[in-house]
Amino acid sequence: MSADLKTVIPVPPPVLLPVEGSADFFPVRRVYCVGRNYADHAIEMGHDPTFFFQKNPDNLLPAGKPFPYPPLSEDVHYEAECVIFLKEGGENIPVEKALDCIYGYAIGIDFTRRDLQAVAKKMGRPWEVAKAFEFSAPVSPIVPADELGHPASGRIWLDHNGKRVQEGDLNQMIWKVPEIIRAVGLPRGALSGTSTVPKAPTTVPFSTIRSSTRWRKAKVIFPSSSATRTRRMNGSRTAGPVPQVR
């Protein structure tokens, strides 16, 4: 932007995510999500696969930032996902060239206000209120593909208070990563969640969520305290101590 141009409100800061083992950051332009890309989860949710929706870049929650339980909902689900980051993009990218567009990978958690989503579905309305709320997309630091390669298989799981509640393998995806890039025409600076593994559970405050692959881990902590419990019982979900994603 030219120095002589003025905006009527402050320009939002760019959304930057850390790169593992580096002082560099990845600038996020768009966030695409793949819905029901694991057959078991698609059956679990009662619909045919596969489709796309979006979150906003500023819905992302980098490691070490607080995660408050969102307002307006009594039924928030968390879902483990592999996340891909693009250094190049465009339309009609050949499947055989799609992996060349990837900068790196991370592990993410897709939070959904499921009760609000159910209302939107019933009324035939979009899902933004259920999906694109503040801090709804925790994500780990990015592992560059130059170091990791391009994992076509590998376990991905989610633990809740030490109990394994989600588990799958990247090779169970219906649309593989190159097909996702081809289908959406993702731009440079975009990231895409590759969809949740089966058994999407419900969050409760005062709990610990760990989402992992063999090459990356993410953790969300909902601390338990009498102050937090009192505030929740009084209907205030955002007051008091807040969770952390690490």
Summarised one tens digit per residue, pLDDT across range 159-195 is: 877 888 888 888 888 888 998 888 888 888 878 776 5
Asked if 184 and 195 touch (Cβ cutoff 8 Å), the reply is no
Measuring CA to CA, how many Å separate 176 from each of 7, 151, 159? Answer: 42, 10, 24
Shortest CA distance to 134 belongs to which of 87, 66, 218? 66
Distance CA 29, CA 62 (A): 15
As a whole number, mean pLDDT of residues 210-223 equals 57
User: What pLDDT shows up at residue 219?
Assistant: 54
Collapsing DSSP to helix, strand or coil, 38 comes out as: strand
Tokens of 135: 């801090």
Q: Quick one: which of 125, 142, 121, 138 has its CA closest to 203?
A: 138
Helix (H, G, I), strand (E, B), or coil: what is residue 83?
A: strand
The answer, yes or no, to whether residue 227 has pLDDT greater than 60, is: no
Q: Give the integer Cα–Cα distance in Å for 65 and 138.
A: 9
pLDDT tens by residue, 36-52: 787 665 445 555 557 88
Average pLDDT, the chain: 78
pLDDT digits (tens, 9 = 90+) for 121-167: 999 999 999 999 999 999 999 999 999 999 988 888 888 778 888 88
DSSP 69: P
Q: What percent of the chain has pLDDT over 70?
A: 73
